[in-house]
Amino acid sequence: MSILDRLFRVGAAKANTVVDKLEDPVEMSQQILRELNEQLQKGIESEAEIKAIALGHRADQKSNLDQAEKWKGKTYTLLDKAEAETDPITKANLNNLAAQSAQYNKDFQAQADQAGGNADREDAALKVMDQKLTSLRDNINKTKNDVELIRSQQKTADASEKINKAMSSVDTDGLVQTMARMKEKVSATEFRAQAYAEVDNSTLSTQEQIDKVLTTDSPTSALEELKRQRTK
């Protein structure tokens, strides 16, 4: 692999990473919804244009049919007149006019058929487009629901991520161990206090011990209690 290929691959990988970070699910889903609505709007405008063209063709069809029917009636009238005419020249002239009138009828009928064919094609295109617009509307409604779902899921995911991140940074074992050390320190402090008290008592002289007993005991000292027990 050439150095250029490797550089291109590295650049593509980094570009994909940047794009992945920029792709916020909520923002992307909202953008998709906007684009779908834009497509729907364009489709509606196109459908309106096609409908206008179809209506124009239908109007042309009706107008040409009316003209064809009109010239048909004129042709019949001329033929009736020709049949009733006894003068050969006038009869020939009426037949000639009837032939021209029939041609007008035929031309207008052909134009009506062409306009009707165009209108039929436009109507078929409108049916297909209407189906697509209906499908697009369904997708838009589904996308709206998806946007709300993604927004809700994103909030939940963000909150969970923050909590889990905070919990992962807490050294639970370390806290428990620290608490145990604190309890040990308190217990050690209590033991030292008790030891100091015992040491203090053991270093008193006999006179100090007697004075302490006399000042702390009740009027009936421990010695008096023992004397009473001995005489019993």
**Coil, helix or strand for 205?**
coil
Summarised one tens digit per residue, pLDDT across range 180-216 is 888 888 888 887 777 766 655 556 566 766 666 666 5
Phi, psi of 205 (to 5 degrees): -75, 170
Amino acid at 28: M
Distance CA 37, CA 26 (A): 17
Given a cut of 60, whether residue 220 has pLDDT beyond it is no
Given a cut of 90, whether residue 12 has pLDDT beyond it is no
Distance CA 43, CA 124 (A): 16
Helix H or strand E encompassing 9: helix 3-22
Calculate ∠ Cα 74-111-83, nearest 5°: 20
Q: What is the pTM of this model?
A: 0.55
Structure tokens at 215: 């000042």
Q: What is the mean pLDDT of residues 67-71?
A: 96
Burial 183-208 (b: 16+ CB within 10 A, else e): eeeeeeeeeeeeeeeeeeeeeeeeee
